[in-house]
Amino acid sequence: MAYGVVQLLSVAAKDVDAYNKTFIGAADIENGSVFTLGDAVSGQEDEYAVVQPATANLADQHYMAASVNRLVTTINGQKYYNLAQDPRAFINVTGEPIDGIALKLGDEVRLSSDALAGTYVSSGSVTTHVVATDSAYKLTWATAAISGLSLKHVRTSYISIGDAIGSQRVTAYDFIVDAVV
Amino acid sequence: MTNERNLIMSFASNEDVATGYEKFVEYYNAFKSNKSSVGVGDNEISMEDAHKKMNAFFSSEVERVARREMKDYKSNLMQYFQFTDVREAAFAVVSILTDLIVPNAILKDVAPIAEFTNVGWGDTAKVLVKPRDIFVPSKIGHGRRMGVIHQQFAGEVTIPTYLREVTVGVPFYDVLLGRYTLAEYMVKAATGLEAQIRYDVWDAFETAVGALDSSGTAKLVYTGYTQDDFVNLAETIGAWNQSRAVVLGTKTACSKVLPASTNYRIDLDTSSYVKNGSLRDFMGTEVIQMEQIADYATEFSVKLDNTKLYFVSPAQQKIIHVAMEGNTLGTVKDNKEAANLIATGTMMKSWGVAAATAALAGVITIS
């Protein structure tokens, strides 16, 4: 099992402080997943609750989990920094701060296939987009954009992760945000 | 082998003692190589003198560890050797020497493919594997400050170690008859541990390389030797490793590496081919014969596959990593401690083997 990996190729959040927020999740959230802004966390000026995508908020401003988190939690709840290098070992664990960036029109991101729900279809009923989906943190492959957060698939790519003796290229997909309200 | 000095120092903070152990390793390597002397220049001594010095060093180390001197018992050396602390000390010293010698001995044979690391008891070896990919530039308009941001990630391979033990036993009556000695058996036990590590290294290597792609553009596993495949694979491995590739194989395997055209063989250095059993250099790629090793699991079988030619870049990160945990442990039980009067000796060694590398390798199976 591998968790999703995200690379921010070119995003507005790189240059705008206000597009970067800190979130606290009520569930474990993989990098590359999306959510909307919830209530401010009591006693914390810079932390907001994560709200899972739902039919009612698909057209709201979405944020993408893009942590460089190095915190690994064992099954009994013990937490270790820098235990493992491979980003596929990380998930943003419940209750820990998550770096979230506001997705803006034109943003380019690269997501590993593990970060997405569904399967990419390249011929026939081609999946041209990944979209925000009710009751799911992960973006889901779709054959068209929706009235809400939609990212257009622009190329199939790879993310280089030092791994074993053979291929070190993890299948990934490049997207441009082309519909967000 | 890394950390050799640290390993010694962890057993002895005394500089003379540490040097003594290092000399012992030097002596052992010269002995295994059938050399007539040890050392170079002014420090060169005959093998006979080295043998005496090493025996003296061993005795003094046992005295130091046991804190009991042999000269106090020179009228009754049997009594000295019967002391439990002396026996314990002797096997402790043997264990230290085993820790030093075993990886060294193995490394001589597997150096192109394996690397040894010592870790403390309870530690897990972790090998960092960095991506071999580079960042590829793309065209960009003149009015942009920057392109898309490229990143890559390192991974790692952890190597858990597993404790292995060998227990040997000698009946008291056989000792009285002078048939067998526990020491003789213990030497074989140490040899067995050494052989097992060697097997583990080759098994891990063959599994890792054999699992690579055997078709498509990423093909690194070929069936059937051809000159073109040989040259292509050597070039591919060398190019992607950014380090010259060499070919490893048994004498049988290496002997099959010949030019495609039999006409060209007229120009071969025939006497050298017959003498060496293979071409040492073929189409610009070095061909290295690996010494075959006996596979004691099955009588008269050998471990290294006579049908495989492996392509590796020895100067790159090694394919196989061996983690040696802690030190060799040894326990000895005297004849009279056992109800059936069998003296036993146990050697325990903990190690783990894994393929962990950013380097590429390839293989041709000679059909």
**B147 to chain A, closest Cα gap in Å:** 8
Token pair recorded at residue A100: 């979230």
Number of Cβ within 10 Å of residue A34's Cβ equals 25
What pLDDT does residue B228 have? 95
Cβ within 8 Å, pair A87-B129: no
- Is the model's pLDDT at B132 over the cut of 60? yes
- The percent of residues in chain B predicted with pLDDT above 90, rounded, is 44
3-state secondary structure of B195: helix
For residue A6, what is the nearest residue in chain B, using CA coordinates?
A: B151
Enter the tokens of residue B195: 């052989």
Q: What is the largest CA-CA distance in chain B?
A: 96
* The pLDDT of residue A164 is above 80: no
Structure tokens given for B344: 């036993």
pLDDT for residue B331? 83
* pLDDT of B34 strictly over 80: no
Residues of A in contact with B208 (CB under 8 A): 164-165
Report pLDDT digits (tens) over B260-282.
887 766 666 666 777 777 888 88
Which pLDDT band holds residue B13 (cuts at 50, 70, 90)?
A: low
Which of A79-93, A167-181, B95-109, B155-169 is predicted least confidently? B95-109
Distance from CA of A42 to the nearest CA of B (A): 35
Instruction: Note the Cα A158 to chain centre separation in Å.
Output: 16
Vertex A169 angle, CA A163 and A172, to 5°? 125
**Complex ipTM value:** 0.85
Q: What confidence score (pLDDT) does residue B269 get?
A: 60
Quick check: A86 and B360 CB within 8 A? Answer: no
For A162, the closest of B131, B147, B218 (CB atoms) is: B131
Q: Are the CB atoms for A23 and A46 separated by under 8 Å?
A: no
- Cβ contacts of residue B246 below 8 Å, gap of 6+? B112, B285, B286, B287, B288, B311, B312, B313, B314
How far apart are alpha carbons A156 and B71 in whole angstroms? 79
pLDDT in tens, A104-113: 999 999 999 9
- At B8, the pLDDT band (50, 70, 90 cuts) reads very low
pLDDT for the residue A180: 67
pLDDT at residue A57, rounded to an integer: 94
Check residue B266 and give its pLDDT. 64
* A162/B128 CB distance under 8 A: yes
| Phi, psi torsion values for B283, nearest 5 degrees | 55, 40
B311, with CB counted inside 10 A (0-12, 13-18, 19+), is buried
Q: Give chain B positions within 8 Å (CB) of A168.
A: 131-133, 155, 358
Q: Which amino acid is present at A108?
A: E
pLDDT higher than threshold 80 for residue B159: yes
Q: Which of A144-153, B165-174, B251-260 has the highest mean pLDDT?
A: A144-153
User: What whole-number distance in Å separates Cα of residue B2 and Cα of residue B219?
Assistant: 34
> What whole-number percentage of chain A has pLDDT above 70?
98
- Contact criterion met (CB below 8 Å) for B289 and B250: yes
Of A31-40, B65-74, B194-203, B220-229, the one with minimum mean pLDDT is B65-74
Q: How far apart are CA A28 and CA A175, in angstroms?
A: 24
Mean pLDDT of A10-39: 96
pLDDT at B2 (0 to 100): 37
Query: Which of A118-122, B79-83, B219-223, B224-228 is predicted with the least confidence, judged by mean pLDDT?
Result: B79-83
The whole-number average pLDDT for the span B189-207 is 91
Top-confidence range, B173-177, B185-189, B235-239: B235-239
Q: What is the pLDDT of residue B5?
A: 41
- Cβ distance of B156 and A5 shorter than 8 Å: no
Please report where in the chains the tokens 């010949």 appear, as a residue. B258
Average pLDDT value over all residues in chain B? 86
pLDDT 10s digits, A103-159: 999 999 999 999 999 999 999 999 999 999 999 999 999 999 999 999 999 999 999
Name the pLDDT band for B1 (thresholds 50, 70, 90). Answer: very low
Chain A positions touching B215 (Cβ under 8 A) are: none
What is the distance between the alpha carbons of residues B178 and B201, in angstroms, rounded to a whole number? 37
B333: buried, middle or exposed (CB in 10 Å: 19+, 13-18, 0-12)?
middle
Task: Measure the CA–CA gap between A67 and A92, rounded to whole angstroms.
Answer: 8
Give me the count of residues in chain A.
181
- pTM listed for this prediction: 0.82
